[in-house]
Amino acid sequence: MTERALSHDLQRRFDRILWSTLVAFGATVLVAFAVVGEISLRRTIANTADVVESLLGLYADPAGERTPVAPAMLADQLVGMGARFVITRTLPSGDGERSVYFLTPDMPAKRIETLRPDATPEEIASLLRREVAARGRLTYGLLHRRVGEFDIFVTATRSPYLLGLGVLAAVVALLIPAAGFAARRATQRAVATGLAPVERVRRETQDIDPDDLSRRVTEPAGVAEVTEIAGAINRLVARVEAAHETLEAFTADASHELRTPLTHLRAQAHWALAEGRSPEETRESLRAIADEVERAGRLVEDLLLLARGDNQELHCDREPFAIGPLLTEVVEITEAMAAGCTLDVTSQIDNGGWVVGDPRYARQILLNLASNAVRHTATGSITFRMQAEGQMLGVAVTDSGEGIAPEHLERVFDRFYRVETSRSRSHGGAGLGLAIARMLAELQGGRLVAASAPGAGSTFTFWLPRAERERA
């Protein structure tokens, strides 16, 4: 996704959030204003009812004129004529029934009559509420309060706060779009400013050429997230560059190692095919060719083994086994390899020593360490020693050879790396043995470490996890 597409996507999302928030805010303000206005209206009605209730003694008893009045007329008086309250009183009549009268402070009481002569006070109050609601449900508020034999009906108009609500709604309707557009423009500038470092990192990353992996992305200051992204890209490019250099070196070394035996094979073949060669000379040339083919075959097998390891195609049977008997066999093979040399091969072996790993790979690793020790120790000793460290059990192979300088020690496990190139080739090594040994050690859940100093010999220690029975 480009910087422009990302900017548009962020802007769309922010627009949705912005407009939703503004509309919700405007609706909340209007609802809050309406709720406050309604609460104020009801409080005003309640206060009026309190005042009227305190003055009920001023109203005459229904002993005078008996002019009938209908609930609809009372509703007209409350809503249409501007009266703020109406008072009714329920008294027993001569026939044992109760009658409801409309009271005023300066006029005789008037009996309230309905279509049903026997209507109860509750029915008359309900009818009066319906009549008021029919005339002004939205514009008037009504409170009914019963105080003994009196019923107080108080109304108040909602017109003032409804007018204010309308004005507020108009203001909100005008301000929300203006605020939305202003916020949108500010957001566009903020998004563009915020994404500028991202765009710069994108361009610089895109400009990194596969043929020149030494270039790095500028890590901008002040934007922690973009700085972390740029740093991660730089670390990734550094790893790719290192892997690319390793691959180039590996390809060059592999080509060189394969070209040497092929050149030798071609020279021997041409020499053997020349005229005048005796049968003995031809056989000698063929033996040299066979030796070179064997060395080239071992090199190809080692390269295939490393490739399978890199592709995680090597199968490892991780199972408990006793490394003591295996180490005894390796010591015997080492003694055979050192035959004819002034080398003293010693061992400190525990017949048990249970570890978890693959016996095949463990044997290959130990034989590689032993052959290296024999090749690089002209005189002196080679010692095999078992040692424990926590949950790991190790086999240390120590020689008294020339040792390895510190600048070479860190690279002895690199592929095709040789401390002394000419000497290693004369010994038949291609510089893959220790790389394969470390790969096989790690495949088993172990490790292979080296310690050495010039003139003081070398110690290579092969560690594997101890088995449960060994820990017990």
Arithmetic mean of pLDDT, 212-238: 81
pLDDT(51) > 90: no
Query: Is residue 347 within 8 Å of 332, Cβ to Cβ?
Result: no
Could you report the per-residue pLDDT of 65-95, keeping only the tens digit for each? Answer: 445 555 566 666 555 544 567 777 777 665 5
Does the pLDDT value for residue 226 go beyond 70?
yes
pLDDT in tens, 133-175: 776 667 778 788 888 777 888 888 778 878 888 888 898 888 8
Each residue's pLDDT tens digit, 193-206: 777 777 787 777 87
pLDDT-derived band at 425 (thresholds 50, 70, 90) equals very low
Rounded Cα distance between 214 and 103, Å, is 102
Task: List the alpha helices (DSSP H) in 55-143.
Answer: 71-79, 121-136
Q: In the structure encoding, which two tokens stand for residue 103, read together?
A: 């009271």
Averaged pLDDT for residues 179-184: 82
User: Stretch 405-423: mean pLDDT, rounded?
Assistant: 72
102-141 pLDDT, tens per residue? 666 555 666 666 656 666 777 777 887 777 777 666 777 8
In this prediction, what percent of the chain has a pLDDT beyond 90? 10
| Encoded tokens for 30 | 């209007």
Residue 424's pLDDT is: 46
Q: Which residue has the higher pLDDT, 405 or 9?
A: 405
Structure-model confidence comparison of residues 430 and 436, the more confident one: 436
Q: Specify which of 5-9, 106-110, 211-215 reaches the highest per-range mean pLDDT.
A: 211-215
Rounded to 5 degrees, what are φ and ψ at 129?
A: -65, -40
DSSP 208: -
| CB-based contacts of 73-79 (< 8 A; 24+ apart in sequence) | 74/102, 74/112, 74/128, 74/131, 74/153, 75/128, 75/131, 75/132, 75/134, 75/135, 76/135, 78/132, 78/140, 78/142, 78/153, 78/155, 79/132, 79/135, 79/136, 79/140, 79/155
Structure-token match 């994404």, residue found? 195
Quick: pLDDT tens for 259-288. 777 777 788 788 878 777 788 878 888 888
C-alpha distance across the termini of the chain, in Å: 58
Say yes or no to pLDDT of 255 above 60: yes
pLDDT at 59: 61
Query: What is the predicted pLDDT for the residue at 460?
Result: 93
Q: Is 380 in a helix, a strand, or coil? A: strand
Q: What is the pLDDT of residue 4?
A: 65
Least-confidence region, from 61-75, 305-319, 334-348: 61-75
What pLDDT score does 393 carry? 92
Q: What value does the mean pLDDT take over residues 325-333?
A: 90
Fold annotation for 319-471: Heat Shock Protein 90 (3.30.565)
Q: What's the burial of 330, exposed, middle or buried (CB within 10 Å: 0-12/13-18/19+)?
A: buried
Fold held by 224-310: Helix Hairpins (1.10.287)
Nearest CA to 257 out of 427, 375, 372, 416 is that of 416
Q: Which of 16-20, 94-98, 367-371 has the highest mean pLDDT?
A: 367-371
pLDDT for 202 equals: 77
What pLDDT is attached to residue 463? 93
Residue 355: partners with Cβ closer than 8 Å, 6 or more residues away: 320, 321, 323, 362, 393, 464, 465, 466, 467, 470
Looking up tokens 């001569």, which residue turns up? 94
Closest CA to 172 of 289, 283, 29, 285: 29
What are the residue ranges spanned by the domains of the chain? 11-161, 224-310, 319-471
Strands in 3-139 per DSSP E: 85-92, 98-103, 110-111
Domains 224-310 and 319-471 agree in fold: no
Which pair of tokens denotes residue 170? 């108009």
